[in-house]
Amino acid sequence: MPIDIYLNVAVSGLLTGLVYGLMALGLSVIFGVVRVVNFAHGEMMTIAMYLAVLAFSVLGLDPLVMMVPIAAVLFVFGYALQAGLIGPFINKPEHMQFILLVAVAVILVNVQLIVFGPDARGVQTAYSYDSFAVGKLIIDATKVYAALAALTVSAALFVFFRFTEVGKAIRACADNYTGALVVGLDVRRLYALTFGIGAACVGAAGAMMVVIIDVTPSLGPAYTLLAFVIVITGGLGSMPGALLGGVLIGMTEAMAGLLFSPSAKTMFAFAILVLVLLFRPQGIMGKRAA
Amino acid sequence: MIARLIEGTSRRGLVLLALLLAFLILIPFFVNDYLITVLILIFYFAFVGQAWNIMMGFAGQLSLGHALYVGLGAYTSAALYVHFGVGPWIGMLAAIPVAGALGAVIGFLAFRFGVSGVYFAILTIAFCEFARVGFDHFRWVGGSAGFFLPVAQYSVNDLWNLRGKPSMFYYVILGFTVAAFIICHLLLRSRMGYFWQAIREDEPAARALGINAFRYKMIAVVISAGMTSLAGVFFAFFYNNLFPEQVFHISRSIEMILAPIIGGVGTLFGPILGAVILTGLSETMHEILHLLGVDVPGAKAVFYGICLLVVIVALPDGVWPWLSRRLGLSERK
């Protein structure tokens, strides 16, 4: 096979990986602050994807335009979920939180199955078949737009956590729960806010993903696992780690699809996960837990 | 042994238990095949729940990939039967070491490298996913096209080859469940059982007391994996078809932990009670939805999810601890 096929696939994997990264960023933010593992993450992703499909088919709105409103909807959903359901479980054992979110995930995925049916749904935008030619490389326009959007949202998030008052307050909660309570931060509200922000990341990622891949309800659990793999690979709680992990997994999947078979993709992603868990459990960019 | 079995159980509890067992043995004579199938499902989930409970409920290690062991047991015994004509009971003797060995590998990797809690749970999912993709490409046992056991209309029960009517399968799975209950009961009251519970409650403290946590966690994983693989053998011979996409799917792993969680993690009756509640409710709802004509795929799973949610919010310790207090039965946790 000529070398440019590999290059083409690698670039395509890189671009998809950035969208994966944004999705995983949501999981990472939630875990980094609230210390709850969102087992319904992929299901929230497919909710966003279905919203984008609906907006496109009913109102004719472009998914990339719908990114912001869909992120807002998911923000409200995430906020409500944390404030109403997960909040009381913050100090419960890990396995109970896990099971609570598994229950949420099971409900979400099957409600989607009932509402939308098992068939794949997608969007056909005006630029669906456009591509850029860079030398010998041919790059899908949709993936470029989606990746750029993912980078923009991630950058906005970095700025938010670094420079705004609320962002700093959230980081304070993550650093020292008791300390944050002592200085009078409304931790419960900040947790809900964080969960909302994490969900909004997924919302934005979902809206972008629709232009790359068709959505079915069964994508939900698959994306949950994928988000875990990415976040653990990159470092749970690390924001750059999530993006890096996304790119790494995106490219690995693309290469595995090319060199072996598309169905072997997840196997390679999980192989990376197992290696990381065994040899660098804190993840590539993660800090060693005390 | 008998003394240890009944120790700590009230007289009232024993009488109730004996009556229950007699009732369960006699029931196939009075009900139709449909109800027997429902009962089989109940005891199937009670059995795998009991096996999973050894790891999570006793030793505190959360596995979300137990479908792996069911699948291994199912495929091992089915392959032996189809390719070599070896019956299921011998197949079980092969399935237990296969599943136990893989459990040991996963346990070794996890416990040696300090993978615990949520990370451990995700590691178990990862291995189950490996198996799913692996078996999809494993042509010798049918790959993704599925693996089938020969089926015929049976008028006589062939217990040795597990070919026969539902009532035979009912007694087999009832026997499994009762055996699992007794084994778990003995394990929980044994020295090792107390070590497990110490590790579950506070591992650093347990280790400080000189308990070899690595060793006992390994034993818990191996016992749990081996026991779960028996359910796989039963699964293969009862359903007669195996698809990697179904057998190793993560929803199978989740399905089998629902009963012990709803019934009560770490209790002996929890998995059984949970299986009765879940399967009973789900079959009832299936009937109701069917009558209403709104029998859509996914409705049952939504219901499962809601049950799980309600129980984890309202009765975080499960139904059995609450119920046993109400009934005045003693079961020390």
Per-residue pLDDT of B230-241, as tens digits, reads 999 999 999 999
For residues B54 and B63, give the distance between their C-alpha atoms in angstroms, rounded to a whole number: 11
- Which residue in B46, B63, B19, B39 sits closest to B269, CA to CA? B46
Domain annotation covers residue A290 = no
Q: In three state form, how does the secondary structure of chain B look?
A: CHHHHHCCCCHHHHHHHHHHHHHHHHHHHCCCHHHHHHHHHHHHHHHHHHHHHHHHHHCCCCCCCCHHHHHHHHHHHHHHHHHHCCCHHHHHHHHHHHHHHHHHHHHHHHHHCCCCHHHHHHHHHHHHHHHHHHHHCCHHHCHHHCEECCCCCCCCCECCCCECCHHHHHHHHHHHHHHHHHHHHHHHHCHHHHHHHHHHHCHHHHHHCCCCHHHHHHHHHHHHHHHHHHHHHHHHHHHCEECHHHHCCHHHHHHHHHHHHHHCCCCCCHHHHHHHHHHHHHHHHHHHHHHHCCCCCCHHHHHHHHHHHHHHHHCCCCHHHHHHHHHCCCCCC
- Band of residue B5 on the pLDDT scale cut at 50, 70, 90: low
Number of domains forming the structure of chain A: 1
Residues A94, A99, A101, A105, CA torsion sign = positive
Q: Angle B156-B162-B164 (CA atoms, 0-180°, nearest 5)? A: 30
- Taking an 8 Å cut-off on Cβ atoms, the answer to whether B137 and A264 are in contact is yes
Domain annotation covers residue A287 = no
Domain annotation covers residue B302 = no
Nearest to A107 among B130, B137, B306 (CB): B306
Q: Which of A35, A95, A233, A268 to mutate to test the interface with B (most CBs of B within 10 A)?
A: A95
Min distance B296 CA to chain A CA atoms (Å): 7
Contact A49, A215 (CB under 8 A): yes
Domain annotation covers residue B79 = yes
Domain annotation covers residue A46 = yes
Region for residue A35 given its phi and psi (left: phi exceeds 0; alpha: psi -120 to 50; beta: otherwise): left
For residue A256, what is the domain's CATH number? 1.10.3470
Query: Alpha carbon of B239 to those of B52, B161, B162, B232: distances in Å?
Result: 21, 14, 11, 10
Mean pLDDT over the full length of chain B: 87
Question: Looking up tokens 């003693």, which residue turns up?
Answer: B330
Q: Which residues contact B143 (CB under 8 A, 6 or more apart)?
A: B135, B136, B137, B244
For residues A268 and A226, give the distance between their C-alpha atoms in angstroms, rounded to a whole number: 11
Q: How many residues does chain B have?
A: 333
pLDDT of B302 reads 85
pLDDT of A192 reads 93
Which residues of chain A make contact with B123, given a CB cutoff of 8 A?
273-274, 277
Contact A269, A249 (CB under 8 A): yes
More confident residue, B81 or A122: B81
Interface predicted TM-score (ipTM): 0.81
Domain annotation covers residue B290 = no
Q: How many residues does chain A have?
A: 290
pLDDT of B41 reads 93
pLDDT of B272 reads 93
Contact B281, B292 (CB under 8 A): no
Domain boundaries, position B223: 34-147+158-247
Question: Looking up tokens 């499909």, which residue turns up?
Answer: A53
- Taking an 8 Å cut-off on Cβ atoms, the answer to whether B296 and A114 are in contact is yes
Burial of B213 (0-12, 13-18, 19+ CB in 10 A): middle
Domain annotation covers residue A285 = no
- Give pLDDT tens digits for B273-316: 999 988 888 888 888 878 887 667 777 788 878 888 888 888 88
pLDDT of A122 reads 83
Phi/psi at A270 (5° precision): -70, -30
Question: Looking up tokens 């003797």, which residue turns up?
Answer: B93
Contact A219, A257 (CB under 8 A): no
**% of chain B exceeding 70 in pLDDT:** 94
Region for residue B26 given its phi and psi (left: phi exceeds 0; alpha: psi -120 to 50; beta: otherwise): alpha
Nearest to A103 among B133, B305, B316 (CB): B305
For residues B64 and A102, give the distance between their C-alpha atoms in angstroms, rounded to a whole number: 11
- Taking an 8 Å cut-off on Cβ atoms, the answer to whether B316 and A92 are in contact is yes
Domain boundaries, position A19: 3-279
pLDDT of A290 reads 36
Q: Which of A27, A94, A106, A265 to mutate to test the interface with B (most CBs of B within 10 A)?
A: A106
pLDDT of B40 reads 94
pLDDT of B207 reads 92
pLDDT of B2 reads 62
Domain annotation covers residue B96 = yes
pLDDT of B333 reads 44
Burial of B27 (0-12, 13-18, 19+ CB in 10 A): middle
Name the amino acid, one letter, at B300. K
Q: Which of B53, B105, B309, B311 to mutate to test the interface with A (most CBs of A within 10 A)?
A: B309
Number of domains forming the structure of chain B: 1
Name the amino acid, one letter, at A282. Q
Which residues of chain B make contact with A271, given a CB cutoff of 8 A?
130
Domain annotation covers residue B222 = yes
Domain annotation covers residue B169 = yes
Contact A236, A288 (CB under 8 A): no
Question: Looking up tokens 């999810």, which residue turns up?
Answer: B305
Q: Angle B159-B163-B166 (CA atoms, 0-180°, nearest 5)? A: 90
Domain annotation covers residue A219 = yes
More confident residue, B296 or B61: B61
DSSP β-ladder status, B147-148 and A137-140: unpaired
Contact B227, B176 (CB under 8 A): no
Q: How much is the average pLDDT of B16-26?
A: 88
Which residues of chain B make contact with A94, given a CB cutoff of 8 A?
62, 117-118
Domain annotation covers residue B188 = yes
Q: Which two tokens stand for residue B84?
A: 């070599």
Domain annotation covers residue A262 = yes
Q: Which residues contact B318 (CB under 8 A, 6 or more apart)?
A: B260, B261, B262, B263, B264, B265, B267, B270, B274, B311
Spell out, as residue ranges, where chain A has pLDDT lower than 50.
289-290
The H-or-E segment that residue A137 falls in is strand A137-140
CA B134 to chain centre: 23
Domain annotation covers residue A223 = yes
In this predicted structure, the answer to whether residue B330 has a pLDDT above a threshold of 70 is no
Q: In three state form, how does the secondary structure of A236-255 look?
A: CCCHHHHHHHHHHHHHHHHH
Nearest to B308 among A103, A217, A263 (CB): A103
More confident residue, B328 or A176: A176
- Give pLDDT tens digits for B102-148: 999 999 999 988 888 888 888 898 899 889 888 988 888 888 888 99
Q: Which of A129-143, B94-108, B175-189 has the lowest mean pLDDT?
A: A129-143
- Give pLDDT tens digits for B222-273: 999 999 999 999 999 999 999 998 899 888 898 888 889 889 888 899 999 9
Domain annotation covers residue A162 = yes
CA B18 to chain centre: 23
For residues B258 and B271, give the distance between their C-alpha atoms in angstroms, rounded to a whole number: 8
